[in-house]
Amino acid sequence: MAGESSSVGKVLGEGGSLSRILPGYEPRPQQVEMAEAVAEAFDEGTRVVIEAATGTGKTLAYLLPALLSGKRTVVSTATKTLQDQILRKDIPLLRRVVGRPFEAVLLKGRRNYVCLDRVETFRQAPRFRTPGDRVHWGMIEAWVERTGSGDRAEVAQVPEDAPLWTELTVGAEACRGRECPHHAECFVVRARASAAEADLVVVNHHLFFADLALRDRTGVELLPSFEALVFDEAHHLEEIATGFFGLQVSNWRFADLLGDIRRMLRELAGPGAGSAGALPGVASAARADLDAVRAAAVTELEKAVNRADVEVNTFFDALAEAAGAEELRTGLAEVLDTPAGQRALAHEDAVHAAMGALRGRVMAASTGEAGARLSERIATLSAELARLLAREDDDLAWILERRGRGVFLLGLPVVLRPHFQELLLPVCDTQVYTSATLATDGNFAFFRSRTGLPADTAELLLPSVFDYMHQSLLYVPQGLPQPGAPTFIDDVAPEIERLVGLTEGRAFLLFTSYRNMRRAHALLAPRIPHRVLLQGEAERGALLEAFRADTHSVLFATSSFWEGVDVQGEALSLVVIDKLPFGSPADPLLRARSTHLETAGLNGFAHLSVPLAVLALKQGFGRLIRHRTDRGIVAILDERLVTRGYGRRFLDSLPRARRTRDFDLVRRWWASTKRED
């Protein structure tokens, strides 16, 4: 086997340490090849891009050379599932074969750790806004006494989105830093200190790019220094990084700031707070005068924060009304052009005036560091709101989003490449970019064009370890309706039912929209004689557990189940995909990015929409075969795959499965796999 004699080959290869300690271990040449490419990048301090399909064992293929190199490494992933796999499965295994002790830790964003200062403040004057708050507080208070990490994921009984967490955690802007009386025991400080000592730090892309953007803006670092960087699930880099290099103002951000000011207000107004009573050498009449001045400042601050609250809410209520739908992402200009949008705009000056007055009151009431920080935050938020509403910067796409009760104004970079080139590439010499889906049309040109990786970046496109030709069948039915037809789902429902009947359930039915998913579920759920699961009716992990537990179950889901889901064995024998997963042409960021390409003489559809959809389809397709013994059918109910010129780009990028448009052949193929079993 190639690479058996290399240091990574001696662990991963035929007769290597892993095969000696793991019964049934099957060495994979692709894994060894990837590990050698990563080892070379670590040895020489270079960059490499690697696509390694499902089943390659890519996490071990980069973790092993990283640990053998002795370089302090940051591994960044998009999903928690992958972080769990690295820390719970791969690292314990590697401890047995690396031959020297090493430290590997998970570092999360600040808001994942409970803030001891906030806990103390809350304990002194608890404010329960919902009955749930009281119950959650009981659990959190008991847990804080015994936790070693302060990682709120440890309190599984308190939901991630419980409102109390916003009271008990802080972002960088509200943290009191070295002034904090709890600094020495602070969980964030401790987590970062142990990360600074570790050989390997696992983070997510959000934390990584938050760090990169913060370093750029303020020079402050969240992550410890490192010598090597591995991005796994690197196909998410552009999408995630985009949010950190633009502007974002929301009603939540205002609420957070006003909440922090109210917290300071309570401290200032609390018993004895700021009283001049203790000042030595000050006559009692003068002390009384000073106390009266302070009390007046606190009263004025309270009025100012209440007024700001009213003006901000009026502004965002008008925007929400202008936007309409509760879940929406659209161009900001379109929203501001409506009558309610104009009302919001007309109210902008009132917001700035209220925030300006509030800033003055904060400075008057508090002379300390906390007041200065709040004052700075008020100024920054007002300035960002003004920039967003002025929309003068051509490099940003101006967007309005509604998510639940949140209203977000966004200015997102149309082209991310310069940010990558200026900030990411120089961060360290050794950089590995990997994923199961990075290549389109059999090369990395698209990924390179989006990230601006330099020409000397090495590439490795590994063949799959699975025999797709034997293990899978790609079926595109004949006579399909146009995917844009209003009755599309009604028309394809009989085909889905026929397929689910053939495989006796065991199916993921993946849809490109909630609307399609719900319609298909309404039509088919009563007709499917197996357990039917629907995304949204239970938490994702619970749904997957139920799916795995009942071999014949059928899951209706949307894009969030297109990736990061691993179901091995016969429980998943059929994946149905309703349409080619093109992004919505109405999406303002996609539109702005397409327009940018057009101005450079490139076709936005061919150079952006198609490659993005190809990568998404590869992810969806990848759900089916997770092991060498898996067999299954992928049905794509979109004729454009075979009738349009660009369909070939999809087909050429997918694993080389056997293909058919004939249901009889599907039936025979399925029967033959059953006989093999």
Nearer CB in complex with ligand SF4: 160/179: 179
Residue (263 or 607) nearer to ligand SF4, CB: 263
Q: Give the shortest CB-121-to-ligand SF4 separation in angstroms.
A: 10
Please name the residues in contact with 118: beta carbons below 8 A apart, sequence gap of 6 or more: 167, 168, 169, 170
Q: Return residues touching ligand SF4 (CB under 6 A).
A: 115-117, 170, 175-177, 180, 182-183, 186, 188-189
Provide the minimum distance between the beta carbon of 168 and ligand SF4 in the complex, in angstroms, as a whole number.
9
Q: Are strands 228-231 and 200-204 parallel, antiparallel or unpaired?
A: unpaired
Cα 623 to Cα 666: distance, rounded to the nearest angstrom: 19
| Residue 189 or 353 having the CB closest to ligand SF4 | 189
* 3-state DSSP assignment of residue 456: coil
Nearest distance from C-beta of residue 176 to ligand SF4, angstroms: 4
* 175 vs 201, beta carbon nearer ligand SF4: 175
CB 255, min distance to ligand SF4, A: 19
Closest of 533, 528, 499, 523 to residue 636, by C-alpha? 499
Ordered strands of the 554-557 beta sheet: 532-534, 554-557, 507-510, 574-577, 632-636, 472-475, 658-660
Shortest reach from residue 396's CB to ligand SF4, in Å = 31
* Contact partners, residue 274, CB within 8 Å, separation at least 6: 268, 294
The residue (of 232 and 260) whose beta carbon lies closer to ligand SF4 is: 260
Cβ proximity of 556 and 520 under 8 Å: yes
Alpha-carbon span 426 to 622, nearest angstrom: 33
User: How far apart are CB 214 and ligand SF4 at their closest, in Å?
Assistant: 15
φ, ψ dihedrals at 82, nearest 5°: -70, -35
Least separation, in Å, of the C-beta of 270 and ligand SF4?
A: 18
* Measured distance CA(316)–CA(293) in Å, rounded: 34
- Assess contact for 80 and 108: CB atoms under 8 A: no
Instruction: Give the C-alpha separation, 534 to 556, whole Å.
Output: 5
Cβ proximity to ligand SF4, 113 vs 475, nearer residue: 113
**C-alpha distances in angstroms, 148 versus 83, 152, 345, 481?**
20, 11, 48, 58
Q: What's the CA gap between 106 and 429, in Å, rounded?
A: 22
Strands 632-636 and 574-577, by their bridges, are: parallel
Burial class (CB in 10 A: 0-12, 13-18, 19+), 453: buried
CB of 266 to ligand SF4, least distance (A): 16
**Residue 652 half-sphere exposure, CB side, CA atoms within 13 Å?**
12
In this complex, which beta carbon is closest to ligand SF4, that of residue 169 or of residue 430? 169
Q: How far is the CB of 179 from ligand SF4 (least distance, A)?
A: 8
| Nearest residue (CB) to ligand SF4, 178 versus 675 | 178
